[in-house]
Amino acid sequence: MNIFSENIVFGCGGRFQLWSKIPEKFRSDVVLLVSERLKNSGKLSDFLPIDSLEIIAVPSMEPTISMVEKVREKIGSREISALIAIGGGSVIDCGKMAAIYLEQSNKIHSMREYFEGKYQLQPRERIFFAALPTTAGTGAEVTNNAVIIDDVTAVKKSLRDDSMIADLALIDPELTYDCLQKIVAASGLDSLTQAIECAISRKTTCETRRMASEAFLKVLANLESAYSGDKEAKNIMAYATTLGGVAFRIGGLGAAHGLAHPIGSLRHIAHGEACGILLEHILRINIEAVDKLAGELGFASGNELIEKIVALRNKLGVSDNFRKYDIKQEDFAFIAKNCRSGSMSCNPVAMRDEDIYELLTKIC
Ligand SMILES: [Fe+2]
């Protein structure tokens, strides 16, 4: 299956085509959503007519209800024609929700009500939404979901709707070249986790298993070099992440993602780091499914495959536990209650609350 199309464009230097790929009728009032770092980098003017755009910088953290509300406040009642999100998965997720919110502002009265599931979304038609990733990690540019945190309760949800699919996902690996090393590590581990969880998910199909397996092998082989700054490895990471993203949009994820959400929101742990810590443990719980996949991919056993992941994680300086985050036993109930997402239900082995408590006791 060729994942690239009119809507998903991949290639070094692709950012220079961005403006021409936005249909003319959507170029009248364009808003750019970026991280503070990118806004101040001076790079946007290389490929965008920034003087004619409004640029909104958002904090480099997972989007919260109030962050999306602030984007809406800044734009006010204006009817913008396009929203372009350039950044890591958090900026892109914030953009996905803002685009829907702005377009349907007469129907969606508050982001909180949307978060609480009070609205049935209409397809997005009026605002063109483009996503350009600057990290190789979440695959957010090609997925139909966005992760958002309730600032008040710390509950993190993955909201899913096809109107969140970008009209244009433009993946230019060169945009990832100056990504901070610790973000290369965390986002790469997210990509790795997404790929292998999709490959063994209960919902995976032959096609998504094949795509996710290819993505997994590419990330496993290239993440360490990408972390060391190798540009060719970064190109492959960008490709593999997109491939994995297209796969898991259909094939689903697993318990590492299910648990990473409440653990991450509880202590503000980067999503990729939380996934990286959890992955080994979740794969050991799913050893039967991992053994089968390992055989298909040419590993001697599931354990050998897991050991390769552990060696990579160690080289990236990511721990195998959450002890430094001071998660207490009284937090376990919050985690067990808020991990029951679609990802959790795709995990090969059904995890009961007591299984989750046992795992948390071991790793917290
Ligand atoms: Fe993820």
Predicted confidence (pLDDT) per residue in 185-224, tens digit: 999 999 999 999 999 999 999 999 999 999 999 999 999 9
Q: Which two tokens stand for residue 182?
A: 């610790």
Burial of 12 (0-12, 13-18, 19+ CB in 10 A): middle
What is the average per-residue pLDDT within 145-152?
92
The verdict on 122 and 18 lying in the same domain is: yes
Domain that holds residue 84: 8-175
Q: How far is the CA of 175 from the centre of ligand 1 (A)?
A: 20
The verdict on 356 and 321 lying in the same domain is: yes
Residue 144 has a pLDDT of: 92
Residue 106 has a pLDDT of: 81
The CATH number linked to 135 is: 3.40.50.1970
Contacts of 81 (CB under 8 A, 6+ apart): 25, 26, 27, 28, 29, 30, 126, 127, 128
The verdict on 18 and 156 lying in the same domain is: yes
Region of 363 (left: φ > 0; alpha: ψ -120 to 50; beta: rest) is alpha
The verdict on 31 and 86 lying in the same domain is: yes
Q: How far is the CA of 272 from the centre of ligand 1 (A)?
A: 7
For residue 21, give the amino acid letter. Answer: K
Q: How far is the CA of 154 from the centre of ligand 1 (A)?
A: 18
> What values do phi and psi take at 39, rounded to 5?
-60, -40
**pLDDT for residue 234 is more than 90:** yes
Name beta bridge partners: 87.
Answer: 133
Q: Percent of the chain beyond pLDDT 90?
A: 88
Percentages of the chain per state (helix, strand, coil), in multiples of 5: 55, 10, 30
Q: Determine, yes or no, domain membership for 3.
A: no
Are 264 and 276 spatial neighbours (Cβ–Cβ below 8 Å)?
Answer: no
Position with higher pLDDT, 57 vs 156:
57
First and final CA of the chain: distance in angstroms?
Answer: 41
Residue 321 has a pLDDT of: 98
Q: How far is the CA of 306 from the centre of ligand 1 (A)?
A: 18
H or E stretch including 330?
none
